[in-house]
Amino acid sequence: EDQVTQSPEALRLQEGESSSLNCSYTVSGLRGLFWYRQDPGKGPEFLFTLYSAGEEKEKERLKATLTKKESFLHITAPKPEDSATYLCAVRPFGNEKLTFGTGTRLTIIP
């Protein structure tokens, strides 16, 4: 059974304080690992897809990396508007189903 574990559950940072969020996964053949951002009361917003170990993707202050067992979402010099819950999901080969982690609730304090 595919599993996704995200840590920490919650993270509070001062504005400008860089950090990383972790997503550990087990999957029967990884087709893709997805990062989403979810604001309260809203649906998830797509950020990145990673397909193979060693791959990296960047968007503004966010950079996602992937190994064979985990993915990191690095946030550099965050701003208050980066506050949200960040979700990680995996999709195996031969299946359209996404398995989500429970997310990391990130709060950036001005």
Partner 1 sequence: GAVVSQHPSRVICKSGTSVKIECRSLDFQATTMFWYRQFPKQSLMLMATSNEGSKATYEQGVEKDKFLINHASLTLSTLTVTSAHPEDSSFYICSARFGGLNQPQHFGDGTRLSIL
Burial of residue 35, with CB atoms counted within 10 A of its CB: 0-12 exposed, 13-18 middle, 19 or more buried: buried
Q: Is 59 in the site for partner 1 (CB under 8 A)?
A: no
Per-residue binding letters, 4-43, with partner 1 (x by CB under 8 A)? x--------------------------xx-x-x----xxx
Handedness of CA 69, 26, 49, 8 (dihedral sign): negative
Residue 76 tokens, joined? 């550099």
Write the single-letter amino acid at 44.
P
69 vs 97 by CB, closer to partner 1: 97
Positions in the binding site for partner 1 (CB under 8 A): 4, 31-32, 34, 36, 41-46, 49, 51, 87, 89, 96-98, 100-103
